[in-house]
Amino acid sequence: MFKKILYFIIFVIIIIIVLNILNLQNDSTDTKTKVNVEKGNPNTLRYLAEKRKFYVGSAVDSNLLRSSSKYTKILGSQLNMIATENEMKFDLIHPQKSKYNFEPADKIIEFAEKNNQVVRGHTLVWANRVPAWVQSGNYNKEQMKQILKQHIQTVVGHYKGKIYAWDVINEAITKDGKLNDSIWLRTIGPEYIQLAFQWAHEADPNALLFYNDNGMENNNKKFNALYRLLKKFKDSNVPIDGIGYQMHSWIARDIDYSNLSNQFQMLRETGLQVQITEMDIGMASPKNESYPSKAQKQAEIYSKVLDTCLKNSNCSAFVMWGITDRYTPKYKPEKPLIFDSEFKPKKSYWSLVNTLKEYNKQKK
């Protein structure tokens, strides 16, 4: 009887040991369901980007810096650049004529400084997010110029030396290549764009100044109009350093990567930098396609855009409009970002890692 009990105990112990070994093997072989988020890890985007003095970043929500430790851990370990998502838009940072609200944006600056990251300030001038006090004030041209100048120089001056690059103008060109209707265009006229760059430069001469927009990669009519405007600025010594390609897209949309590269080359010849500034790739449609298939398509688009950027010397940053599907400002089923809603890396994350690794290997 004693021997039977002993044999049974030994049998149970052997079963437990075997099960533990199998679990360890599963953990070790499924390498692409987990990622070490510690700084300095060679599989992080940040580590790979910094080897080539390149920036990888994400838009950041200041409220989440207070409430989600998983969110902040990924941001700090994976990225060497962050961008303000909403905190520097006119209506939030300057809600009343004589009142500025810097606290939310200050939190992002503090986080960046703590994690040795640079910051993109988004955005100084846009047709949207204009506060009611500006829209309903019935101000004349000179008054509107003064309002805009004071706003730009107060905000840029507050963050002087702390912002690496500003999106000075956001989305001022339509898909037809015309100036987008806005309160700034109606009251000040087309010169508001040039003036905004001049005023921002006066407030912080060391900050890079960008024009930021979406859709140029597949629309040469829009790109050509923008190119003519920015080339005119460069020829006239208007202080502009580059153009931001937002790259909001979706898996069913074709992108002409050769055309995108040609645009980058034209901008380089004009002396302008390029940065990818708001990339996300929606995959809600087509609804009848499997998730693995859609995830693979998303990964390929992320990889190809990054590859196009890396192969053009004037493309200096790759920034996404968020880092995790849990907090995307888009319609949730789009799942447009590189970490899923449980903070696990998706195929899109690994496609970026592998693209950076391949680029670094070629550049040795």
Q: What is the CATH number of the domain that holds 277?
A: 3.20.20.80
Question: Residue 233: which domain range?
Answer: 40-362
Asked whether residue 14 falls in the same domain as residue 77, the answer is no
Q: pLDDT in tens for each of the 364 residues of the chain?
A: 545 555 555 554 554 443 343 333 332 222 344 455 555 688 899 999 999 999 999 999 999 999 999 999 999 999 999 999 999 999 999 999 999 999 999 999 999 999 999 999 999 999 999 999 999 999 999 999 999 999 999 999 999 999 999 999 999 999 999 999 999 999 999 999 999 999 999 999 999 999 999 999 999 999 999 999 999 999 999 999 999 999 999 999 999 999 999 999 999 999 999 999 999 999 999 999 999 999 999 999 999 999 999 999 999 999 999 999 999 999 999 999 999 999 999 999 999 999 999 999 987 6
Pairwise CA distance, residues 312 & 274, whole Å: 9
Local structure of 211: helix, strand or coil? strand
What pLDDT sits at residue 42? 81
Residues 5 and 124 in one domain: no
Residues 25 and 44 in one domain: no
Q: Based on the domain organization, do 148 and 5 belong to the same domain?
A: no
Instruction: Give the C-alpha separation, 4 to 216, whole Å.
Output: 77
Residue 154 lies in a domain: yes
Q: What CA–CA distance (Å, rounded) separates 103 from 61?
A: 13
- 300 occurs within a structural domain: yes
Rounded Cα distance between 247 and 252, Å, is 14
Q: Do 150 and 195 sit in the same domain of this protein?
A: yes
**Residue 353: inside a domain, yes or no?**
yes
**Does 341 fall in a domain?**
yes
pLDDT given for residue 363 in this prediction: 77
> Cα(264)–Cα(306) distance, rounded to whole angstroms?
13
What is the Cβ-side half-sphere exposure of residue 298, based on CA atoms within 13 angstroms? 29
Q: Are 278 and 247 part of one and the same domain?
A: yes
Distance CA 362, CA 308 (A): 14
Mode of pairing for the β-strands spanning 315-320 and 242-245: unpaired
Note the pLDDT of residue 198.
98
Give me the amino acid identity at 320.
Answer: M
What separation in angstroms does the CA of 179 have from each of 127, 146, 169, 205? 11, 21, 12, 27
The tokens of 194 are what?
A: 């040039």
Q: Are residues 110 and 218 in the same domain?
A: yes
pLDDT at 25: 32
262: left (phi over 0), alpha (psi -120 to 50) or beta: alpha
Catalytic entry in 278, 300, 334, 342: 278
Alpha-carbon torsion, ordered 208, 209, 214, 218, to 10 deg: -80
pLDDT of residue 40: 66
Strands (E) across 148-272 are located at 165-170, 208-213, 242-245, 248-250
Domain presence at residue 34: no
Cα separation, 168 vs 103, in Å, equals 20
**282, 138: one domain:** yes
Selecting among 85, 87, 171, 217, the annotated active-site residue is: 171
Residue 19 confidence (pLDDT): 38
Domain match, 121 and 148 both: yes
Note whether 14 and 132 are same-domain residues: no
Cβ-proximal residues to 25 (8 Å cutoff; 6+ apart), any chain: none
pLDDT of residue 4: 54
Evaluate whether residue 35 is within a structural domain. Answer: no
Residues 102 and 23 in one domain: no
- Judgement on whether residues 25 and 52 belong to the same structural domain of the protein: no
| 69 domain residue, yes or no | yes
Distance from C-alpha of 217 to C-alpha of 255, rounded to nearest angstrom: 7
pLDDT value for 43: 83
Cα–Cα distance measured from residue 212 to residue 170, given in angstroms and rounded to the nearest whole number: 5
The pLDDT assigned to 244 comes to 98
* Active site annotation includes 278: yes
38 is catalytic: no
Domain membership flag for residue 232: yes
- Structural domains in the chain (count): 2
